[in-house]
Amino acid sequence: MVLPRHMNTPAIKTIAFFLFFISGTSVALAGSSKGEKFDPGGTILHHVKDAHEIHVMDGVSISLPIIIYDDGLKIFSSSHFYHSEPKEVMIGDAKEHYYAYNGYALFHEKIYKLDHGALHIEDGHPHNEKVADFSITKNVSGMLFGVFMMFMLFIAAAKHYKKHGIAAPKKGIVRAVEPLVLFISEEVARPSIGHKYQRYVPFLLTLFFFIWFGNLLGLIPFLGGMNFTGNIAVTMVLASFTFIITSFSGNKHYWGHIFAPPGVPVALYPLLIPIEIIGVLSKPIVLMLRLFANITAGHIIILAFTSLIFIFGEMSTGAGYGVSVVSMAFSIFMNFLELLVGFLQAYVFVLLSALYFGAAVEEVHH
């Protein structure tokens, strides 16, 4: 980005970058409403949910592979769906569209088998047979890209330490990574877990960088908003890993405190044991919902502010331009805030996981 010399300062560059960055969201939303009345709710959900293509901007998208198993493995590009003529179905009084190709239908990003060449909708839901879908979707692409970035980062750090030993790096990406690694290891894992913390550090570091990179990727509109940390299935798997590790790490003291609470009359066991079990099961659920809800809410707020431009623009062009100034300002503010939230949510998830591990391996204090 080339700026005049008197404007070539870090602050001006940052503001200019975010104006360009937010404009990507506006272009993406504008493409969704072209030629028809703007539907803010449907448009926002479309950008937040998973999809079989990466929508970059109006007229520009990246088709992803469709991989289904139905009487054998079948692989083809999602462009065959999206570039076909959409077919209309009625759900109540509203018109919906689906795409058909080679005996299959794509409806609300779900793949169904066509029955006599048609998709049958009853009570608002398709009654066609579903197929086993192993497609590389937008969220899967985001996860693969995030894992690739992690590999590149960690391999670069490993090569540096192999070549230079434990000396502190003076430049490059390794210099930025080392404080984060030490922070998670020494300020999160060690105080939360205790002297056995080192065995859990690799998992906690992987968890932190995976969630953090996922949160950042979801903020980039020109990557289609790879919002995989805002997908409850992904957060459920991450929370399940924490739950499984906590359960297998639990010692006698941990399980004894759940199934035989010390200092409690036996008569109260039928009341306290179910409460303790609910507490154990609620921890991963809280982890799952906190990450999912916070990341999804942030994206919805940003898209809602941007949608105001098109809502008022349909009333009058002047109103659209007037609201765009306020909308862009709030969107820029929310993106700065989301950068902080993205880091904090990764930190909170890792911190709580470390606390759960620490409770599982804690020894009896006399």
pLDDT digits (tens, 9 = 90+) for 66-114: 999 888 898 988 888 888 888 877 776 777 788 888 888 888 888 888 8
Q: Are residues 292 and 218 in the same domain?
A: yes
End-to-end CA distance of the chain: 64
Is 41 part of any domain?
A: no
Q: Higher pLDDT residue, 171 or 326? A: 326
CA dist 61 and 221 (Å) reads 12
- The answer to whether residue 269 scores a pLDDT higher than 90 is no
> What's the number of domains the chain is made of?
2
pLDDT digits (tens, 9 = 90+) for 165-176: 777 777 777 788
Q: Are residues 168 and 128 in the same domain?
A: no
Q: Are residues 195 and 290 in the same domain?
A: yes
Asked which of 112, 135, 158 is the last residue of a domain, the reply is: 135
Q: Are residues 163 and 251 in the same domain?
A: yes
pLDDT digits (tens, 9 = 90+) for 21-36: 444 454 455 444 445 6
Q: Are residues 235 and 301 in the same domain?
A: yes
What per-residue confidence (pLDDT) applies to 352?
A: 95
Q: Are residues 91 and 144 in the same domain?
A: no
Residue range of the domain that includes 84: 65-135
pLDDT digits (tens, 9 = 90+) for 110-148: 888 888 778 887 777 787 888 888 989 888 998 999 999
* Rg over CA atoms, the chain: 25
Mean pLDDT of 261-265: 81
Average model confidence (pLDDT) across the chain = 81
Is 25 part of any domain?
A: no
Is 341 part of any domain?
A: yes
- The answer to whether residue 6 scores a pLDDT higher than 80 is no
Is 168 part of any domain?
A: yes
What per-residue confidence (pLDDT) applies to 346?
A: 94
Is 19 part of any domain?
A: no
Confidence band of 260 (pLDDT split at 50, 70, 90) = confident
Q: Are residues 108 and 233 in the same domain?
A: no
Asked which of 84, 113, 135 is the last residue of a domain, the reply is: 135
Q: Are residues 339 and 310 in the same domain?
A: yes
- The answer to whether residue 334 scores a pLDDT higher than 90 is no
Q: Are residues 215 and 308 in the same domain?
A: yes
CA dist 153 and 312 (Å) reads 44
Confidence band of 241 (pLDDT split at 50, 70, 90) = very high
Q: Are residues 82 and 143 in the same domain?
A: no
Q: Are residues 248 and 180 in the same domain?
A: yes
Is 274 part of any domain?
A: yes
pLDDT digits (tens, 9 = 90+) for 347-362: 999 999 999 999 998 8
The proportion of the chain whose per-residue pLDDT surpasses 90, expressed as a percent, equals: 22
Lowest mean pLDDT among 178-182, 317-321, 328-332: 317-321
Which residues are 60's β-sheet partners? 57
Is 16 part of any domain?
A: no
Asked which of 118, 135, 152 is the last residue of a domain, the reply is: 135
Q: Are residues 311 and 182 in the same domain?
A: yes
Confidence band of 186 (pLDDT split at 50, 70, 90) = very high
- The answer to whether residue 206 scores a pLDDT higher than 60 is yes
What per-residue confidence (pLDDT) applies to 5?
A: 46
What per-residue confidence (pLDDT) applies to 147?
A: 92
Lowest mean pLDDT among 110-114, 267-271, 309-313: 309-313
Is 32 part of any domain?
A: no
Confidence band of 365 (pLDDT split at 50, 70, 90) = low
